[in-house]
């Protein structure tokens, strides 16, 4: 309340004895309030709160679905009395803010209308349909031997409005159910118009004929025949007849080797069922003896070691050496032995292994020596820097591996290696040879490597007249590794080429004597030091 005039503060007294200035959440009715100021002056007011207009909504139209001709239903509402537009409308099938709902399939529906004060009116109604619009012919197969003692239901649907949907009580949405166990099954068929067809089916039958294993005993050893199978038979109609793939006709069979066994059971109704079982066996227990000989190269005494390698069977293994009654996996011996061992696995399977190990008589080591020679023919005995040397081992057949040390920090495991010394000096070359027992013998020789004298002399003329004197143009040189020479005429035509310094030019070209005159040479040489020399110039052919 808004009060003006008088002398504040003001006091309020309502007809229900409340003393507040403002009142809230009041029902419709008449309310009286007396207002008194600080001077004692007062005024009395009478206030009337009117009730709201009634909120009335009508379902003014409802059309059912016609399952026979495939039409769907509709509904329409109207607000007869109310205030607080606009109205909000919610239909139970999801439509909103529309006074009319179309395409309604048979079923129950609700519509709720709200004004701006959130006052609500809800109307419930149903759209009916004609169940005779859907025609269903069903085929029910009861459990039998032919279908594996499982039932089946299939539906042939016509009428109504296609397509059709199916919902079974087991959750399936298929038109046909197979492999059904005994029990009740309900189907709900709907067509495109929402028309329904519902029916319950009963699958009869007793317990399915079945074979279950009671016990399966696998073989203890790979080649044994101690497996066994025992089964139980249930369902169907007793008595039962059984036949195993090995010809036995009892529910249990024994003395079986590893493999697959199939049992077929026939009940009193002639129904049959079969099942296969596997008898397993561990891998074949195998053992072999491996050995090695350890030699004392200084004393010549040999010590043998042997151990058993086991595969297959079932661990753990028990080991028994007949030679010394040892149970260790490895044994040692100091003389030639005929070794025998027996292995027993955890299942009691047994395997034996036998071998003879000869301990050799060990005398002195065989001969170890070597020599070396130049790869290129030379009149010089000295070994020059960068000159390839062929080292040749002179060793007996007792040795199987060898190792060279050339004294310059390099090594080789070839039997007859080629080596090049890159610096002058005296090198101690060592050859070590090893026999099958790892014993070693060695030989050492010194190799003196000197720096080669490097020079070349090229003649200025030659006289190819066949007198045996100066008949070839042939340079002289020393201390080189490679040599290339070409001869040209004054027009640059190549007349002769050679990579051998001792093969000089005889003054011919293609079998024809060339005239006297000046000719050109070009020479390339790689010296033993690694230096490459190129020389060119002219010389005279004299006839």
| Last residue in a domain, options 76, 96, 127 | 127
Helix (H, G, I), strand (E, B) or coil at 516: coil
2 occurs within a structural domain: no
468 and 528 belong to one structural domain: yes
Which residues, 6 or more positions from 141, have their beta carbon under 8 angstroms from its beta carbon?
147, 151, 152, 153
Give the number of residues written for the chain. Answer: 543
Integer Cα distance of 105 and 102 in angstroms: 9
Strand partners, 46: 32
Q: Name the phi and psi angles at 21, rounded to 5.
A: -75, -40
- So what's the pLDDT on residue 131? 55
Integer Cα distance of 191 and 90 in angstroms: 26
Structure token pair of residue 493: 């035509």
- pLDDT 10s digits, 33-63: 999 999 989 999 999 887 667 788 898 899 8
512 and 528 belong to one structural domain: yes
197 and 137 belong to one structural domain: yes
Question: Checking DSSP bridges between strand 196-203 and strand 183-190, what pairing results, if any?
Answer: antiparallel
362 occurs within a structural domain: no
438 occurs within a structural domain: yes
Cβ 519 vs Cβ 537: under 8 Å: no
Integer Cα distance of 171 and 288 in angstroms: 63
6 occurs within a structural domain: no
537 and 472 belong to one structural domain: yes
- pLDDT 10s digits, 115-159: 877 888 999 998 887 656 788 899 998 877 755 567 899 999 988
| Last residue in a domain, options 127, 159, 190 | 127
| Last residue in a domain, options 435, 450, 465 | 450
Which residues, 6 or more positions from 387, have their beta carbon under 8 angstroms from its beta carbon?
374, 376, 420, 421, 452, 481, 528
Q: How far is CA 222 from the centre of its chain?
A: 33
Integer Cα distance of 363 and 435 in angstroms: 12
25 and 80 belong to one structural domain: no
- So what's the pLDDT on residue 44? 92
274 and 303 belong to one structural domain: no
Locate tokens 């409802």: which residue?
62
Domain CATH for 102: 2.60.40.1080
Domain CATH for 408: 2.60.40.10
432 occurs within a structural domain: yes
Q: What is the pLDDT along the chain (543 residues), one digit of tens a residue?
A: 888 888 899 999 999 999 998 998 887 788 999 999 999 899 999 998 876 677 888 988 998 877 766 567 899 999 888 766 788 999 998 999 999 999 887 788 999 999 877 888 999 998 887 656 788 899 998 877 755 567 899 999 988 778 999 999 999 999 999 988 888 999 999 887 777 788 999 988 767 789 999 999 999 999 999 999 999 999 888 899 999 999 999 999 999 999 999 999 999 888 889 999 999 999 999 999 999 988 888 888 889 999 999 999 999 999 999 998 999 999 999 999 999 999 999 999 999 999 999 888 776 778 899 999 988 766 567 888 878 899 999 998 889 999 999 999 999 999 999 999 988 889 999 999 998 888 899 999 999 988 767 788 899 999 999 898 999 999 988 778 889 999 999 999 999 999 998 889 999 999 999 999 999 999 999 887 778 999 999 999 998
pTM of the predicted model, to two decimals? 0.42
Structure token pair of residue 505: 């030019």
- So what's the pLDDT on residue 281? 96
Cβ 458 vs Cβ 521: under 8 Å: yes
Range of the domain at 15: 11-49
135 and 113 belong to one structural domain: no
- So what's the pLDDT on residue 71? 67
Domain CATH for 511: 2.60.40
Integer Cα distance of 356 and 150 in angstroms: 68
64 occurs within a structural domain: yes
38 and 60 belong to one structural domain: no
243 and 275 belong to one structural domain: yes
257 and 314 belong to one structural domain: no
Task: Give the per-residue SS3 of 281-327.
Answer: CCCCCEEEEEEEEEECCCCCCEEEEEEEEEECCCCCCEEEECCCCCC
Integer Cα distance of 160 and 38 in angstroms: 85
How would you label 401-410 residue by residue, b for 16+ Cβ within 10 Å and e otherwise?
ebebbbbbee
Please state, as a whole number, how many other Cβ atoms lie within 10 Å of the Cβ of residue 394: 11
363 occurs within a structural domain: no
Give the total number of structural domains in the chain. 7
Cβ 35 vs Cβ 55: under 8 Å: no
Question: Checking DSSP bridges between strand 241-244 and strand 210-217, what pairing results, if any?
Answer: unpaired
247 and 305 belong to one structural domain: no
3 occurs within a structural domain: no
Integer Cα distance of 105 and 476 in angstroms: 119
326 and 251 belong to one structural domain: no
Beta strand extents in 204-285 (DSSP E only): 210-217, 227-234, 241-244, 252-256, 259-266, 272-279
How would you label 46-71 residue by residue, b for 16+ Cβ within 10 Å and e otherwise?
eeeeeeeeebebeeeebebbbbbebb
Integer Cα distance of 390 and 376 in angstroms: 10
């Amino acid at each position: 309340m808004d009060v003006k005039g008088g002398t504040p503060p003001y006091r309020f007294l309502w007809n229900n004895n409340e003393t507040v200035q403002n009142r809230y959440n009041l029902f419709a009715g008449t309310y009286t309030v007396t207002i008194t100021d600080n001077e004692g002056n007062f005024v009395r007011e009478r206030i009337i709160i009117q009730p709201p207009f009634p909120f009335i909504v009508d379902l003014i139209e409802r059309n059912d679905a016609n399952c026979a001709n495939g039409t769907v239903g509709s509904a329409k509402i109207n607000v007869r009395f109310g205030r607080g537009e606009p109205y909000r409308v919610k239909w139970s099938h999801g439509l909103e803010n529309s006074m009319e709902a179309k395409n309604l399939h048979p079923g129950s529906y609700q519509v709720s209308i709200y004004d701006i004060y959130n006052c609500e009116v809800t109307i419930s109604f149903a759209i009916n349909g004609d169940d005779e619009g859907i025609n269903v012919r069903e085929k029910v197969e009861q459990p039998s031997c032919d279908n594996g003692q499982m039932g089946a239901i299939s539906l042939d649907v016509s009428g109504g409005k296609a397509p059709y949907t199916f919902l079974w009580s087991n959750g399936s949405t298929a038109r046909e159910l197979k492999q059904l166990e005994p029990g009740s099954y309900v189907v709900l068929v709907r067509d495109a118009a929402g028309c329904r067809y519902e029916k319950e089916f009963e699958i009869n039958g007793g317990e399915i004929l079945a074979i279950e294993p009671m016990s399966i005993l696998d073989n203890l050893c790979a080649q044994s025949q101690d497996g066994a199978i025992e089964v139980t038979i249930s369902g169907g109609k007793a008595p039962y007849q059984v036949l195993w793939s090995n010809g036995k006709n009892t529910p249990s069979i024994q003395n079986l080797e590893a493999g697959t066994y199939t049992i077929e059971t026939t009940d009193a109704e002639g129904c049959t069922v079969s099942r296969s079982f596997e008898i397993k066996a561990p891998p074949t227990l195998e053992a072999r003896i491996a050995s090695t000989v350890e030699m004392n190269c200084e004393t010549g005494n040999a010590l043998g070691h042997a151990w058993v390698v086991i595969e297959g069977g079932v661990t753990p293994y028990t080991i028994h050496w007949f030679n010394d009654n040892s149970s260790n996996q490895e044994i040692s011996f100091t003389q030639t032995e005929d070794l025998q061992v027996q292995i027993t696995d955890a299942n009691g399977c047994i395997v034996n292994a036998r071998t003879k190990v000869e301990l050799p008589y060990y005398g002195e080591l065989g001969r170890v020596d070597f020599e070396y020679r130049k790869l290129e023919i030379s009149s010089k005995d000295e070994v020059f820097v960068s000159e390839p040397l062929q080292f040749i081992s002179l060793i007996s057949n007792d040795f199987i591996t060898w190792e060279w040390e050339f004294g310059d920090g390099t090594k080789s495991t070839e039997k007859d290696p080629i080596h090049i010394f890159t610096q002058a000096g005296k090198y101690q070359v060592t050859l070590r040879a090893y026999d099958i027992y790892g014993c070693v013998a060695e030989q050492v020789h010194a190799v003196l490597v000197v720096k080669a004298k490097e020079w070349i002399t090229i003649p200025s003329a030659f006289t190819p007249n066949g007198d045996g004197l100066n008949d070839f143009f042939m340079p002289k040189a020393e201390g080189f590794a490679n040599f290339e020479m070409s001869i040209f005429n004054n027009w640059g035509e190549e007349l002769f080429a050679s990579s051998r310094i001792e093969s000089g030019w005889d003054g011919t070209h293609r079998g024809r004597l060339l005239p006297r005159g000046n000719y050109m040479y070009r020479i390339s040489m790689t010296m033993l030091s690694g230096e490459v020399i190129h020389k060119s110039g002219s010389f005279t052919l004299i006839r």
